[in-house]
Structure 1
Amino acid sequence: MAKSGNTGNVFDLGELRRLVGELGAAPGELRAAVLDAAGATEADGDCDCSDCGTEVLSFPPVELAADDELAEAVLRVPLVLDAQRLATWTGTRQVTPEGLLPDPFLACAELGLPSPTRLHLLWVVAVNTGMLRISRGVATAGPLALSADLPHRAMLEFWDGVVMDVLDRADEGLTGSAVVDDHLAEMLATMYAVSDGLSAATLVKGILQSHEVACQARPTEMRALSASLPGELDTALTLLGYCGLIEPSEAGRPRLTPLGVWAVRQDLIREGHDAPTGAEVAVFADLGATELVDAIIKRSAAPSAVTVWLESRTPETAARELVRVASSGTAGQRGTVGTILEELGPEAETPLREALQEPSLWRYAASWLHIRDLPAPALAQEDRTWIAVDTLASLAQLGRTAEAIREFDALEPGEDLVRLVEEMAAADHPDTITVLDLLGSRHPDPTVAKSARKAAMKSRSR
């Protein structure tokens, strides 16, 4: 999201899955939504730049209010109203060399603002959005004439700029709480994932756990923070309400306003995260399994489309359709199907048990059954090696070469990778040579790469 002092993208949540398991007091819908958001995938690409390690998070679909309703709501946001009042009060006025009002206390007194900090926030919004213009040391009326006559899209573009200005102030002490400011982006994204709102106690617990992990806080600091954070968060939520982002739900829990949902989604999309609307993913519900899998492989279907697709049919029906695709498909299709099947529980047992008869799928079916404590044939070492080859082939076919190398390295410790290469060479898999060629040309360990090239030559000769 826009700057918030947090160094970890939207969520600083490399530990998210573990933290979710510890949020015992969180309502069930929070656990489900955050686990969905934790279904992060690394951005693909084979370079070593920092952007290529960025997590792409998948958020549940949301329903946005109509543009006309959102545009009308912008004009009722207290911060926007006060920014307009400030622009009118300023008129034509000399400013400091830094482009600020020379006497902030006068402005606060005449406008009834609580502090120079609030005034500064309003000033930044007024100047950055065009309500005011500063030129040659003088502030005058800017090009933006904010009124109900402004086109809806223009009004929403204005609102987007307002929210970015607000969140950028977290680096300078937006809420008065350094900890809340530091975790503001992840808090808003978590609230985005749970439309019904979260209790203040749950928000406090999440911030404390995230802060302890991200900042490696000492016990004494955590004890002090545990005592002060509830009050600090209450103040922060009040400010966010003033900014038009937060409101109480029917149950009294803080939640994003319709304007807040729209603005947070804009930020998530800017950062490349999967934040669809319900309408965007609804079109995937009626696709056949082959069409869905192909859309995922081509990256024209967001991860959240899978949830909608699964919800539109019974687990048994969904599994049977997917098994049909995987049993006759490529490694890339099998890998994609396998990821989707992981979302299904024991209710899908029958089609997975039938898949034990499929030569290219029975190992996956056996593993799926084992994981769910259901009776299944045991897998021998050569079967696990076959799955390893298939997994690497799948990632390669999906264009995720760097991830395939990392997956390979995770299979065995250091020197055992050479032995694993030899086992892969003996696997009865149609993509064995492709995988060995990949390791031979791309693996960073010269010993492993050389072993893979030799194994590929032997496989070809056979």
Structure 2
Amino acid sequence: MAKSGNTGNVFDLGELRRLVGELGAGPGELRAAVLDAVGATDAVDDCDCPDCGTEVLSFPPVELAADGELAAAVLKVPLVLDAQRLAAWTGTREVTPEGLLPDPFLACAELGVPSPSRLHLLWVVAVNTGMLRISRGVATAGPLALSAELPHRAALEFWDGVVMDVLDRADESLTGSAVVDDHLAEMLATMYAVSEGLSTVTLVKGILQSHEVACEARPAEMRELAAALPGELESALALLGYCGLIELSEAGRPRLTPLGVWAVRQDLIREGHDAPTGAEVAVFADLGGTELVDAIIKRSAAPSAVTVWLESRSPEAAARELVGIAATGTAGQRGTVGTILEELGPEAEPPLREALAEPSMWRYAASWLHIRDLPAPPLTPADRTWIAVDTLASLVQLGKAAEAMREFDALEPGEDLVRVVEEMALADHPDTVAVLDLLGAHHSDAAVAKAARKAAMKTRSRRS
């Protein structure tokens, strides 16, 4: 999400899975909380902008409240009510050159607002949403008139603006806790991923872990932060409740309100993340395996569609259908199937064991079994090279050339990449030449590119 001062990753993905697991969440919720495969990371070729190539997260499908219910709830949010009171109190009034009230303490006293910082948040909301208009040093009533007669979509557009104003304040001390403000957006995204709510203990653990990794905090700082954070988080959650974003579940855990779910989803979508509604992904449940794989390859299916598809059939049935597609399909189909199979546990073993007899699939099946500590034939270095070629070919066929280059560079450091190219040339894989051509044309290391072009030429000669 945007609007967090922290430019590092969101909660560490493995840590997030562990923390959510402490709540006893089901496999489907964990699977969809963060999906770092099946197209979860797309890089834009030939683009130097800092946002390109950043990780795209996939969140579990949510059920949104009806627009009418949400619109009515907007009018009851304490922040919104106080912003309305501030606008009415202001009437027509001169403001400072910065467009602010000249005496915020007077407004706080007369309106019962607890602090100038809270008043400033209300002022920002009132001005930015159109409750107030500032012109030539004077604040007057703006064009927005909030009432139950306001069209539902207009009320929700207003609410979206309110939440953006709130989250933008995280850069200027929204909650009174620097570390909560720094990780606010990722905390809300995590709560979005676990609809039943997260305990404050879990939230504290997540923030501490994220802060330690992203900010490289020293042990002394972490000890001090661990002592102060529970109290700071409690105050921050109270403020977020005042802003209409957080409520307590029946179990007493902080969770997003229906308005919070709607607003966080809007922000996730703006940031390019996959945050569907249940209705949007329900259509994928009845697709055949081939249709699903093809839809993912064509990018007409969001990653969360995989969760719905898997949950609509038994693990063994899903695995058997997918293995059949991969055994006779292209590298792109095998790569897509492979990422889906990673979501399945040992209960899908029978079809994967049968796949050991398939020439183009057995190496993946053996790797899948090994990872789950199940008996499987060993993979030789040549087998691993074949998988590397297949993986790169899959990425190329999926239109992810830049990701393929990064995948290749991760195989071996430095000069050893030339050796990897030579080993790839010996792989008995139908797409070896295509992969070598890609490396020869686009790899940034001149020695690697030259070795790939030479290897591609030799491979063509051998196969002609």
Contact 1:17 1:35 in 2 (8 A): no
| Alignment match, 1:319 | 319
5+ long unaligned stretches in structure 1: none
Q: Distance in 2 between matches of 1:256 and 1:383?
A: 48
Contact 1:175 1:236 in 2 (8 A): yes
Q: Distance in 2 between matches of 1:362 and 1:29?
A: 33
Cα separation, partners in 2 of 1:189 and 1:30, compared to 1, 3 Å: farther
Aligned positions of 1:331-346 closer than 5 A: 331-346=331-346
Q: Distance in 2 between matches of 1:215 and 1:412?
A: 28
Aligned positions of 1:54-453 closer than 5 A: 54-453=54-453
5+ long unaligned stretches in structure 2: none
Contact 1:177 1:236 in 2 (8 A): yes
Superposed CA deviations along residues 334-363 of structure 1, whole A, max 9, x for unmatched, are 000011011111211111122122221121
Contact 1:71 1:152 in 2 (8 A): yes
Give 2:135's aligned amino acid: S
Cα separation, partners in 2 of 1:97 and 1:160, compared to 1, 3 Å: same
Deviates further, 99-108 or 419-428: 419-428
What displacement does 1:293 show? 0.3
Pairing 1:26–2:22 present: yes
| Alignment match, 2:45 | 46
Contact 1:37 1:60 in 2 (8 A): yes
Contact 2:175 2:181 in 1 (8 A): yes
Pairing 1:37–2:36 present: no
Q: Distance in 2 between matches of 1:380 and 1:197?
A: 46
Large movers: runs of 4+ above 3 Å: 18-21, 23-26, 30-38
Give 2:13's aligned amino acid: L
TM-score of the aligned structures, taking structure 2 as reference length: 0.95
What displacement does 1:30 show? 8.9
Which of 9, 12, 18 in structure 1 is aligned with 2:10? 12
Give 1:386's aligned amino acid: W
What displacement does 1:105 show? 1.2
Q: Secondary structure at the match of 2:140?
A: strand
TM-score of the aligned structures, taking structure 1 as reference length: 0.96
Q: Distance in 2 between matches of 1:322 and 1:249?
A: 39
Contact 1:4 1:169 in 2 (8 A): no
Q: Distance in 1 between matches of 2:10 and 2:381?
A: 38
**Corresponding pairs, count:** 458
Q: Distance in 1 between matches of 2:319 and 2:348?
A: 6
Q: Distance in 1 between matches of 2:26 and 2:365?
A: 31
Contact 2:15 2:206 in 1 (8 A): no
Superposed CA deviations along residues 82-117 of structure 1, whole A, max 9, x for unmatched, are 111111111111111111111111111111111111
Q: Distance in 2 between matches of 1:319 and 1:63?
A: 28
Cα separation, partners in 2 of 1:18 and 1:82, compared to 1, 3 Å: closer
Give 1:365's aligned amino acid: A
Q: Secondary structure at the match of 1:56?
A: coil
Q: Distance in 1 between matches of 2:124 and 2:73?
A: 21
Contact 2:63 2:277 in 1 (8 A): yes
Identity %, equivalent residues:
82
Q: Distance in 1 between matches of 2:21 and 2:282?
A: 32
Give 2:265's aligned amino acid: R
Contact 2:32 2:307 in 1 (8 A): no
Q: Distance in 2 between matches of 1:25 and 1:228?
A: 25
What displacement does 1:78 show? 0.5
What displacement does 1:376 show? 2.1
What displacement does 1:333 show? 0.3
Deviates further, 196-205 or 334-343: 196-205
